[in-house]
Amino acid sequence: MGAREAALIVVVSACAALSALMLAGTFPSRIQAPALVRRAAAWVRDLPALRRARGLERLSRRRASCLAELPVLLDVVTLGLSAGLSFDSSLELYCERYDGELAHAFSEAMLSWRIGASTREGALASLADELGVAALGRFSSVVAEALAFGTPLAEALERQAQVMRDEQRSQIEEEIERVPVKMLIPLGTLIVPAMFLAILGPLLGSSLVAG
């Protein structure tokens, strides 16, 4: 469950509890309800677990964005190498033409090895470790080996791009298969209780009036 879903469930539960208190007559004033709901929402946002979940969710979105952009990067670099450009020039061409998470990350990595802060291989490996994307680790290894031993880099990157597209297709199919399982959480926590209240509420009310 992501941070957004967890916060939504907690806030809905808090609102339901406040409504129950108001209906029971134990709540001091209905005017205070919106203020307390806002306080409850702020308290939920400041929970350490939800802060960590939001951080993980941002990192996950960044990883997913970089993974989705990587095949395009491989295609552009491969075309640049096939046209006679160097690896740095091909990579710079991609960073200039595209404005995404991966382009910004590679721009920073290129700057680090151009000013001498790190080697090309070290900067690419650090970038792969920072993002936690295994495909970037394979990319940095292929580039390091090709530049070190003089093997054709364009062919290796073309094969890697095809493998990555096959992996992304498999991941999309797995995500589609997991959608029904994810729907069980909101179904069990929000929809089913509301259905029970809608069905049993009038029956209980009529029985109380009859009694």
**Which tens digits make up the pLDDT trace of 19-64?**
544 444 444 444 455 565 566 556 555 666 666 767 677 777 888 8
CB 89 within 8 A of CB 77: no
User: Whole-model pTM?
Assistant: 0.61
Query: 100 — phi, psi (to 5°)?
Result: -135, 180
Distance CA 109, CA 79 (A): 21
Domain residues for 136? 56-152
In a domain, 115, yes or no: yes
pLDDT attached to residue 41: 56
Asked if residue 200 has pLDDT above 80, the reply is: no
CB 109 within 8 A of CB 181: no
Structural domain total, the chain: 1
In a domain, 192, yes or no: no
Count CA atoms within 13 Å of residue 126 on its CB side: 14
Asked if residue 197 has pLDDT above 80, the reply is: no
pLDDT attached to residue 56: 73
In a domain, 74, yes or no: yes
CB 139 within 8 A of CB 124: yes
pLDDT digits (tens, 9 = 90+) for 129-161: 888 888 888 888 888 888 888 888 888 888 888
pLDDT attached to residue 174: 80
In a domain, 13, yes or no: no
Q: What percent of the chain clears pLDDT 70, i.e. is strictly above it?
A: 65
- Across the chain, mean pLDDT equals 76
pLDDT attached to residue 21: 46
CB 124 within 8 A of CB 147: no
In a domain, 91, yes or no: yes
Structure tokens at 33: 């309800």
CB 166 within 8 A of CB 151: no
Asked if residue 173 has pLDDT above 90, the reply is: no
Residues contacting 18, CB < 8 A, separation 6+: 27, 33, 36, 37, 40
**Mean pLDDT over residues 201-208, rounded?**
67
In a domain, 80, yes or no: yes
Distance CA 187, CA 175 (A): 18
- Of 210 and 112, which is predicted with more confidence? 112
In a domain, 92, yes or no: yes
User: How many distinct helices (H) and strands (E) make up the chain?
Assistant: 9, 0
In a domain, 122, yes or no: yes
**Mean pLDDT over residues 200-206, rounded?**
68
